[in-house]
Amino acid sequence: MKMIKLVLETGEEYVGESIGFDLDQAFSLGELVFNTSMTGYQEIISDPSYCDQMIVMTYPMIGNYGVNKDDFESLTLSLKGLVVKECPMEGSNWRNEYSLRELLKRFKIPGIAGLDTRELTKKIRDRGVMKALLVPENYPAQNIQSLMGKSLGNDQISRVSTKNPIHFPGEGKRVVLVDFGYKKNILRSLMRRNCDVVVVPWNTSFDVIQSYRPDGILLSNGPGNPKDVPEVLPIIRELQKAYPMFSICMGHQLFALANGADTEKLKFGHRGANHPIKDLLLGKVFMSSQNHGYSVTTQSVKNSELEITQININDKTIEGLSHKTLPAFSVQYHPEACPGPEDTAWLFDEFISSLRN
């Protein structure tokens, strides 16, 4: 059994079993976050929004049903590490094709098992997300201190976004999906509704998007700080005037910034498949799947072109916005789920309906 070490920015060290890529004398540096989902680990670790992050899974057993070719949310893995309490050697589900351990090794992602992940989660809740290192058990202490001073960068969106436009033919309305790090189930949700979808890179110009003759625009989820890509804000302002627009997660935050609102970093973010949100227009509560570390500030919306449509029941943060005069709206969570509840999949129908009108 190979042992490796998790080192927190605050100095604590935890030794556990290596379940992924063999670090040998290498290291992995990332932002330590936690996810409260009980299932759906394959979709979680293949979500591009986790770029440069290490995920602590609060549920004690991860990997018990294995991995299959159908449940990936991207073609590659962008996370920096996985931290679990227990990871079985093999999966037992009838859809299993290979183990979670094999998946991590194939994509060169380190993982550590045998830690008290609920203790780690409490520390993140108390102190906020923090930098962390995965290193070999005998890694020199002086090197660790030096590595902790390294920056995680601010180019996550450009790294995970598609580099060239991709066309997914359909018989219905054409939607241009602006890729800030989109999950595949967003694409599947559109195609199930017969949409003709063109996926374009995150920084595609208004003129190029217009040349595809879209009926509507969808701004996707993605990693990092929305303020790291200010160059997209003028493009969003042009797009929302010309086409109906639906924005998800990172797209929601960029939509807010483009319309005069502001964003801030949350202490430990929302990551899990059990977050209750209230729709203020319908007067109903829905369960949602979430993965984000930033939020639109409530006070800033008051002086913007937007109005609040949904809030998080746990902490009252903004979960939905709509433009006061244009056919454009957004949500902070993932209506496409994967993993998580499908309570809000009807938002895609609302978007398609706006295209018909």
How do residues 305-319 score in pLDDT, each as one tens digit?
A: 999 999 999 999 999
Has residue 357 got a pLDDT over 70?
Answer: no
- Work out the mean pLDDT of the chain and round it to a whole number: 97
Has residue 283 got a pLDDT over 70?
Answer: yes
Of the ranges 69-78, 100-109, 145-154, 290-299, which one carries the lowest mean pLDDT score?
145-154
How do residues 22-56 score in pLDDT, each as one tens digit?
A: 998 789 999 999 999 999 999 999 999 999 999 99
Has residue 117 got a pLDDT over 70?
Answer: yes
How do residues 252-276 score in pLDDT, each as one tens digit?
A: 999 999 999 999 999 999 999 999 9
Contacts of 26 (CB under 8 A, 6+ apart): none
The pLDDT, as a whole number, for residue 212 is 98
Contacts of 351 (CB under 8 A, 6+ apart): 216, 218, 244, 246
* Rounded Cα distance, 156 and 138, in Å: 30
Which pTM value belongs to this model? Answer: 0.96
How do residues 66-112 score in pLDDT, each as one tens digit?
A: 999 999 999 999 999 999 999 999 999 999 999 999 999 999 999 99
The pLDDT, as a whole number, for residue 120 is 97
In the chain, what percentage of residues exceed pLDDT 90?
Answer: 96
Tell me the three state secondary structure of residue 105.
helix
**Band of pLDDT at residue 299, cut at 50, 70 and 90:** very high
* Rounded Cα distance, 276 and 295, in Å: 16
Kindly list the structural domains of the chain, giving each domain's residue range(s) and its CATH number in brackets, ordered by start: 3-148 (3.50.30.20), 156-356 (3.40.50.880)
Q: What is the dihedral of CA 135, 226, 294, 343, to 10 degrees?
A: -110
List residues with catalytic annotation: 249, 334, 336
